[in-house]
Every structure is written in C-alpha cells, then in structure tokens.
Amino acid sequence: MYPNGRFVPAVKYSPNNIASWIGGIRSAPLLFDYCIENLDEGQLNTTYRPGGWSIIQVVHHVADSHMNAYIRLKLALTEEKPTISPYDENLWAELSDVKLVPVNVSITLLHALHSRWATLLENLKEEDWTRTYYHPGNKEYMPIWQMTNQYSWHGAHHAEQIISLRKRMGW
C-alpha cells in the first residue's frame, strides 16, 4: 500500500533537493509522534491493510530500517565502496523486541537517530554526496545522495500508511 505513491528516485541532485531530503529525515520523528498520538493498545495493534504490519510493527520497522541506513551512510563515508549487509525486514518485524517493546521506545530512538543523521548529512562535503556503498541484494551501488532521497521518502511513506489508517478508521 503506497498512500503517498511508490518511490520514484531522483535522477540527479541539487542543493535544493538535498536540503528538502534532509528536512524530511530531520522531521520524520515529529511526524511519527503525530501518527501515534492518543492511540490505544488495540489501535496500535491494528494492521494498515489485510496481511500487513500493525502500527507497532511499522514504527519499529522504520527504526530498524533507518538505523541500518545510518550505519550504511557511515560506512560509505569511511570506507571505499563498502558492501553492506541486507536483512529480511519481514523476519525482523516478527522478533520479540517488536512484540514486547513499547512503540514509544522506537519513537525516542528515531528522535536521537534522526538528529545525528540529519546533522551528519548537513555537514557533508560536496564530494561526499557521490560516495557509494554496494547493496548485494539489489546488485547496485547506492550513492549517498540517492539513499538520502530514498530514506526521506521512506519515513514519509510509512507515516502516511498510519495516517491513512487513522482516517479510514475515524481515529
């Protein structure tokens, strides 16, 4: 389900879209604060679509995914074209930390993580934006500017899933 549309990668980058993407990363935790505000346990355990993840799983997934992205960024900045380790997000969504840890723990994590992530991105040198890492699952090199584009969209995408569920359910 793509309430804000499927990801369409930018074909190039500029200072304007970089600033916009960093803004999306910096503000994502505030968006998730809004998304889960005043939801009870039953609502948090509601799936956004049949067979999909619950709101709790979505929020924990964003934390997991964005932690991986942050580490990938740091690897790309400190190593020459590192190969990253992919993971199975569906299996991660079934682990006990997702089931047992309150969702606000991942929201708190997102606030800290996104603050560091956005600060790092805001202070990159021009030549850093084209540094890459290799994703063996996709069999492609991902430049930092493109991953910034993708993860800015990713946070908004999952927040919109929760927002659209809330609208459908009248929450």
pLDDT digits (tens, 9 = 90+) for 66-101: 999 999 999 999 999 999 999 999 999 999 999 999
Residue 59 is assigned to a structural domain of this protein: yes
pLDDT at 160 over 80: yes
139 pLDDT band (50/70/90 cuts)? very high
Do residues 42 and 171 make contact, with C-beta atoms less than 8 angstroms apart?
no
Tell me what the pLDDT averaged over the chain comes to: 96
CA distance 82 to 77: 9
Do residues 66 and 32 make contact, with C-beta atoms less than 8 angstroms apart?
no
Q: Which of 13, 73, 34 is nearest to 158 (CA)?
A: 34
Measured in degrees and rounded to the nearest 5, phi and psi for residue 140 equal -150, 155
Residue 10 is assigned to a structural domain of this protein: no
3 pLDDT band (50/70/90 cuts)? low
pLDDT digits (tens, 9 = 90+) for 103-135: 999 999 999 999 999 999 999 999 999 999 999
Domain range for 122 is 15-169
Residue 86 is assigned to a structural domain of this protein: yes
Residue 4 is assigned to a structural domain of this protein: no
- % of the chain exceeding 90 in pLDDT: 94
Q: How many domains does the chain have?
A: 1
CA distance 165 to 74: 34
- Quote the tokens at residue 73: 């960024």
Contacts for 28 with CB less than 8 Å, ≥ 6 apart: 62, 66, 110, 114, 152, 155, 156, 159
What's 27's domain CATH number?
Answer: 1.20.120.450
In this prediction the pTM is 0.95
- Kindly list the distances between the CA atom of residue 97 and the CA atoms of 55, 68, 70, 81, 127, in Å, as whole numbers in the listed order: 14, 16, 20, 32, 38
